Structure 1
Amino acid sequence: MNKTFEQIFAEMQAAKDSNPLLSGLNSTSRVSIWKMIFDVVAWSIFNFMQVANFHLQEIRDLIAIQKVFNLRRYRSEALRFQYGFDLQNESDQFKLTFEDNGADVIATDEQIEASKIVKYAACNRVIDNGRAKIVMKIAPQNLDDVFSPEIMSAFAKYIEEISPAGDHVTIINYLPDMLKFAFKVKYDPMVLKADGMNILTAKFPVQEAIQTFLQNLPFNGELSVQRLEAVMLAVDGVEDLQTLQIQSKWIDPGQNGYGFYQPVNMSVIPASGRFKVEDFTGLQYIV
């Protein structure tokens, strides 16, 4: 509803001209009856559109200031972050312009998309010493990487500006949790070699199945030992399986790096949001 008065009047005149029954309305005088009527009607429609637009903007403003922050919105806000762009004054929307040689330049779609560097995010509410806080885990496109201190400084400032006053948000930007395991894999020597290589494809299907299983876990998803075993048992050439041990370790800020391996009994959620296999030496193949 953004038509000008002239556009509305022109549309009305075009409709008149296309109707043979109104062919008699052909006076070119500026004060002809039909033009004066069209003027009144066009101005009425134009003013109605203006009022409707003002009303729509008022509703949008009310919705904007009454948005409720929940875990889903915290996640969507993290994914919406644009590195290199500032927020508009008194708004949670990003400026889509930047200064270059003293002039304001409109960002291209490619620049805007490239600035959205947070590709994975998950949020949880936890109680720490009797105080509720939001734990936000984030990761870049390459899940083996973490964000630089410069990026984290910008992201933390962004979250501070858009989050409600009083919310305590802890941002997790850790390297992947390391997964270590020991399995006895009973294999079919007609399909697999003693080192787990498929005779026909020269690939290592058990290793590939484990990697695929971890890649298909949702970010911050729970690793189920039983489901991992089921994936391995489904590999062609695997006849049976014995789980000897599964362990994981994660970044421990108190130790300035990874902590010690801890046993995984039934399931575990990664502290960083994702897992990485340190090596596959724990796969022992037996006939």
Structure 2
Amino acid sequence: MNRTLQEIIGLILSLKETNPFLQVLSSPSKTAVWRNIMEAVAFMIFNFQEAVNLHMKEIDDKIANQKVPRLPWYRNEALRFQYGFDLIPETDQFSSTYEDNGVQIEATPEQVEASKIIKYVAVTRSKSNTGKIKISMKIAGENTDEVLSDEKALAFKKFIEEIQAAGDDIVILNFLPDILKQDIEICYDPLVLLPNGMSIVSGKFPVRDTISRFLLNLPFNGELSVQKLLEEIKATEGVIDLNKLNIQSKWIEPGVGYGQFQPITISRIPKSGRFKIEDWSGITYINYQPQE
């Protein structure tokens, strides 16, 4: 059980009170010798407790990230990939130097950090109808609206091939974002919004901002819930009510490009790991008056 320092002091005090030989130690002074000894012991117990907790956390982390081809291990390996640096022979560790005009130069911390181009990773495992296991690795760089260049993607693929477990079938998905399309009628408040959805006060488009923020807050490869999205839109200032007509998305098909838009009924996990909106024309605003 984790106890605060004050809880440990209180426990020691209560134990002292139950011991008839220690009940004579009753001075209320904060500088009393017995109290200082008690607080010193409590502080040592508290620090020992914290050290044990830290040790257990380190053990848990080592177990979770040990060099066994589990999905979290593959994810961590992808994030530590360093573009432009080679692996040390017979190891899976990157060299800390690079060659410049025939001279080995020690890389600076800034250069090492800049070389870590994989910023978002999602690793999943699926089984085909034939029972074959496939590992899908969705990746993205700092700018999630773009894909990694062919050169960077090739270097990353080579790295994964060198460190992966023998027999694992890994498919790397370096795709442009899935395109999200929404056809929604917004019943707007004319006191707050203009007929095009612009805020009268700020000049911004609150509904667009809400949707963009919702997508931004989704974790990489996170599930988009249509119901949660609509709830966020309905809670936007200037929105009285709404009518969902259609929510759709399309994604990259390998060797083909973007396919056709497919309806999202309840939720969807993006094939690329994230969504993007290119066209806002599907959001229309109506000054709705209920029928009497």
Given the two structures, how large is their TM-score scaled by the length of structure 2?
0.74
Matches of 1:161 and 1:267 in 2, distance apart? 36
Give the stretch that moved more between structures: 232-241 or 128-137: 128-137
The equivalent of 2:200 in structure 1 is 199
Q: Deviations over 1:103-147 (max 9, x none)?
A: 111001111011000010000001134210110000010011101
Instruction: Find out whether 1:176 has 2:177 as its counterpart.
Output: yes
The equivalent residue for 1:116 is: 116
Q: Counterpart of 1:70?
A: 70
Write the distance in 2 (CA, Å) between the matches of 1:115 and 1:131: 34
Given residue 185 of structure 1, which amino acid in structure 2 is its aligned partner?
A: I
Shift, 1:77, TM fit: 0.6
Cα distance between partner residues in 2 of 1:275 and 1:68: 31
Residue correspondence of structure 1 range 92-241 to structure 2 within 5 A: 92-128=92-128, 129-241=130-242
The code of the aligned residue for 1:108 comes to T
Q: Any conservation in 1 of the 2:67–2:73 contact (CA below 8 Å)?
A: no
Counterpart of 2:34 in structure 1 is none
Question: Cα deviation per residue 1:196-226 (whole Å; 9 max; x = unaligned)?
Answer: 1111111100000000100110000000000
Question: For residue 21 of structure 1, what is the aligned residue in structure 2?
Answer: none
Q: Deviations over 1:7-50 (max 9, x none)?
A: xxxxxxxxxxxxxxxxxxxxxxxxxxxxxxxxxxxxxxxxxxxx
Return the letter of the residue paired with 2:86: D
For structure 2, list consecutive stretches of 5 or more residues without a partner in the other structure.
1-62, 288-292
**What is the aligned partner in structure 2 of residue 19 from structure 1?**
none
- 2:27 corresponds to: none
- In the TM superposition, what whole-angstrom CA distance separates every residue of 1:58-108 from its partner, at most 9, and x where no partner exists? xxxxx9xx7212111111110100000011111111001111111111001
Residue 149 of structure 1 and its aligned partner are, at CA, apart by 1.3
Decide which structure has the larger Cα Rg and report it: 1
Superposition deviation, residue 254 in structure 1: 4.1
Structure 2: distance between partners of 1:252 and 1:216: 25
Counterpart for residue 18 of structure 2:
none
Report the Cα offset of residue 260 of structure 1. 0.6
The residue that corresponds to 1:43 in the other structure is none
Q: Paired residue for 2:21?
A: none
Aligned counterparts of 1:277 and 1:166: Cα–Cα separation in 2:
38
Q: TM-score, normalised by structure 1?
A: 0.76
> What is residue 273 of structure 1 aligned with on the other side?
273
CA distance in 1, matches of 2:157, 2:280: 37
Structure 2 CA distance for aligned equivalents of residues 109 and 240 of structure 1: 52
Q: Which residue of 2 aligns with 1:3?
A: none
8 A contact 2:185–2:285 mirrored in 1? yes
Q: Distance in 1 between matches of 2:86 and 2:253?
A: 32
Residues in 1 aligned to 2:105 and 2:191: alpha-carbon distance in whole angstroms: 65
Q: Distance in 1 between matches of 2:80 and 2:189?
A: 49
Identity of aligned residues (%): 58
Residue 29 of structure 2 aligns with which residue? none
Distance in 2, matches of 1:199 and 1:217, equals 29
Deviation at 1:183, TM superposition (A): 0.4
Root mean square deviation of aligned Cα: 1.1
Supply the AA of the counterpart residue of 2:203.
A
Cα distance in 1 for partners of 2:254, 2:134 equals 18
Task: Report the Cα distance in structure 1 between the residues aligned to 2:249 and 2:166, rounded to whole angstroms.
Answer: 36
Consecutive aligned runs of 4 or more in structure 1 exceeding 6 Å deviation: none
Equivalent positions of 1:47-86 (< 5 A) are 67-86=67-86
Match of 1:4 in 2: none
SS across alignment from 1:121: strand
Which sections of structure 1, spanning at least 5 residues, go unmatched? 1-62
State how far apart, in whole Å, the 2-side matches of 1:158 and 1:100 are: 22
Tell me how far apart the structure 1 counterparts of residues 69 and 203 of structure 2 sit (CA, whole Å): 51
Aligned partner letter, 2:71? L
